[in-house]
A and B are shown apart, each in its own frame.
Chain A
């Protein structure tokens, strides 16, 4: 079927719409282009003086430095370059923490959300409200007591506070309220008949949850994984305060350490920002078709 031809009025209107959209596009991509141009600048200027799209003698040198050279600010033994962190080690730590956070948040969150969505029981309202209230708690508020408490908990001979596992658990606690809230909203939209059919067929409630509810809730699960992964990937305040051994430092901490008080190696900072954003962008765009339904379906029950 051929599309209808454009009328004159539609063409004028389209030009107006495109003008607005292009303006918005320019504003949206401006910071991104600025940071790319900084990253490509070969002079690693400490003070970028002018705006240039592609700086003279553009090169990927800053990327090479960030990816392959040791981070001299993050060393176990400051005199020995061999003991400094490298990008691959930082990356590994970041992946462990972020993945751990996401798995804890989505696994435990889904289980709790299922109970809140499907059962009527004593303390449900209070419990749900408790989770929602914790969503509002600024994490920085409990830093000091958390520090003391996690120093006391031991895991495999060391205090949980200084391990990546401890960090992932702490982040998951931050991500859980959102996970529970979002997943409960989505589970509410999965018709009860489906589970009831499974129960009639002899499944236990647990099996019905695993085999019926979870597969149907893929969008909400994907969004929850993405948001908690992002939280673990970029958080650095808790990490700075808790971790002691530079061997366990993460990418977010390395980026923060570059933003100096007086000088910032702008090209390397920019290159590092881009490298750190890429996995999140890829994840985000690959999960994007789930985003809308995963975040809003729970609320469109009327």
Chain B
């Protein structure tokens, strides 16, 4: 049964029609949207307001919904002062240094994701070879670090790095202060990274590579073997095969995984907070752990809100840049 379809020049439907047709989809989004509105969006708005005030612990009895508390407990409006003080490190909080924390956060994310991808893809390729004994066994065992709750792994690693009673010093037969040693292990350009950085990097690499391996394995399995055969006929060596066949073929799967992994790592609260706790001297602090401390240790709510908003914009810039690169929010066009 053939239908006769007149060739139609692509044109935009009228605004009225588009408005009318937009109701249905929003109906599907509404339940999630309402929850996000109340739990994520409204608190964010409140936070924007907080960030322009000097809200501290003594203002805690202030209640937005109860006007009788406004005069007595309401905080003072101080404009952009919080933002200025955060960026100029003028907070009266020991070990606080915005620039260093941001730089550390970026180095932390980059080194981690690089190691996760390199090890993950490497082992996925190793396991994807033609004959590997016990392949299924290894595949199952290697996802253990991913399957374990990150919070428990972090606490376990923290205890393993314990100077006196931890497994790592006992295994090496050494007495190394992994988490608190002030002197950096490498000089020169790396001097600002304390030993604790390498400890948390090790722990988080242990945690993070299996995810990349699983994604890479899936992508590798979908590569048709005739592509490799064709490359062989053309006389490609192993490195050329990797560069011209493997990389382009696993790229579509790896790019979103790397994006997701970058975000997870950038905000990897558990590992930093439980293992290094930002020590020594705040040199392994990342932005989320610093934000958490501003709320729960320093109790400077106004400053903490401004800090969270700065973090939000940093992440927004990263997201928009990544989104441009990968077009991840495009809709499906059949």
Contact = CB atoms under 8 A, between A and B. Distances in A.
Contacts of B153: 31
A122 B18 contact: yes
B40 A173 contact: yes
A144 B296 CA distance: 10
Interface residues of A, number: 108
A122 B22 contact: yes
Give the dominant DSSP class at A's interface.
Answer: helix
Given A31-B153, A137-B315, A180 B47 contact: no
A122 B125 CA distance: 44
Given A176-B35, A295-B215, A299-B253, A136 B263 contact: yes
B32 A109 contact: yes
Interface string B130-174: 011110001011111111111111011101100011010011000
B308 A142 contact: yes
Interface string A163-191: 00000011011001100110001011001
A107 B32 CA distance: 9
Interface of B is mostly: helix
Contacts of B214: 291-292, 295
Nearest to B205: A27
Given A277-B152, A293-B218, A131 B256 contact: no
A34 interface: yes
A28 B144 contact: yes
Contact of A129 (B269, B301, B329): B329
B281 interface: no
Contacts of B217: 292
A31 B311 contact: no
B316 interface: yes
Contacts of A29: 141, 144
**Size range of the chain B interface in the assembly:** 35 or more
B239 interface: no
Interface of A: 6, 10, 14, 17-18, 20-21, 24-25, 27-32, 34-35, 47-51, 104, 107-109, 111-112, 114-125, 127-138, 140-146, 148-149, 152-153, 169-170, 172-173, 176-177, 180-181, 185, 187-188, 191-193, 205, 230, 233-237, 252, 255, 259, 264, 266, 269, 273, 276-277, 280-281, 284-285, 288, 291-293, 295-296, 298-302
A234 B149 contact: yes
B159 A138 contact: no
A144 B28 contact: no
B25 A119 contact: yes
Interface stretch (B85-93, B175-183, B190-198, B287-295): B287-295
B217 to A, nearest CB: 7
A192 B215 CA distance: 25
Given A280-B148, A295-B215, A149 B38 contact: yes
B19 A122 contact: yes
14 contacts: A14-B133, A28-B144, A31-B206, A107-B31, A111-B29, A111-B31, A132-B323, A136-B318, A141-B47, A144-B47, A152-B65, A230-B149, A266-B159, A266-B165
Nearest to A120: B331
A132 B319 contact: yes
A27 B319 contact: no
A107 B175 CA distance: 52
B26 A115 contact: yes
Nearest to B27: A115
Identify the 8 closest CB pairs spanning chains A and B, nearest first. Answer: A141-B308, A173-B39, A292-B218, A145-B43, A115-B28, A145-B46, A121-B22, A188-B332
B36 A134 contact: yes
Given A120-B331, A125-B329, A299 B50 contact: no
Contacts of B150: 234
Given A17-B129, A141-B47, A142-B308, A277 B334 contact: no
Interface in B22-57: 22, 24-29, 31-33, 35-36, 38-40, 42-44, 46-47, 50
A127 B319 CA distance: 14
Contacts of A234: 149-152
A121 B24 CA distance: 9
A172 B35 contact: yes
Contacts of B199: none
A35 B29 contact: no
A71 B266 CA distance: 35
A47 B155 CA distance: 16
Contacts of A235: 151
A152 B62 CA distance: 12
B39 A170 contact: yes
Contacts of A301: 252, 332
